[in-house]
A and B are shown apart, each in its own frame.
Chain A
């Protein structure tokens, strides 16, 4: 049971390049999330999904896109990378029944845009 996995672990992009951050969970969770964490700051929600085929914007969605074609996968797409997108990106998933809201996080992707 791997939990939440993310690839790549590290990436350096040039301004204007695009890339996709991969996220997969094997816990059969319906809810999945993408966060970014800047140094000394709390996690900010980029996008989330409540099930396959359903996605919605979080607090900071500009410059990103997501898709959710399966329960397991929730890739995050960066189009036209900018230095402001330099951050650590965490994917998370949760069960979200009436009593269990714990979010399980992947190990993160450290992205630098230069």
Chain B
């Protein structure tokens, strides 16, 4: 089983749609969770951290379910500029808090 698993997609949605991605992780000791965004042929950039209580940043909402070991990202009112690959990232505990495990990513295509 992969340490971090994501549906590769692509998710092809019209502008204005709501889309959700899930990610599962295998290490129950992990404590830090993130969503990174990676545009085509560019470097990953932090989209948002995922807190136990869930968190929201504008159109983006992230949730953590520790019992089932999954993380979700919800994007409301999709924009063309949201087209990218979304990487689920988990820290590699008990090894270390700063070593991150990156999922392979979920590709999102937002069409006009």
Which A positions have Cβ atoms within 8 angstroms of B?
31, 35, 40-43, 45, 48, 50, 58, 90, 94, 96, 101-103, 105-108
Contact = CB atoms under 8 A, between A and B. Distances in A.
Chain B, interface residues (CB within 8 Å), range? 20 to 34
Residue of B43, B46, B91 ringed by the most chain A CB atoms within 10 A = B43
Contacts of A48: 98-99
A106 B101 CA distance: 18
Given A43-B44, A101-B91, A94 B99 contact: no
Contacts of B102: 35, 42-43
Interface of B: 4, 8, 32, 34, 42-46, 49, 87, 91, 97-105
B97 A90 contact: no
A107 B43 CA distance: 5
A106 B100 CA distance: 16
Contact of B44 (A96, A101, A105): A105
Residue of A41, A42, A48 ringed by the most chain B CB atoms within 10 A = A42
Given A40-B8, A90-B44, A103 B99 contact: no
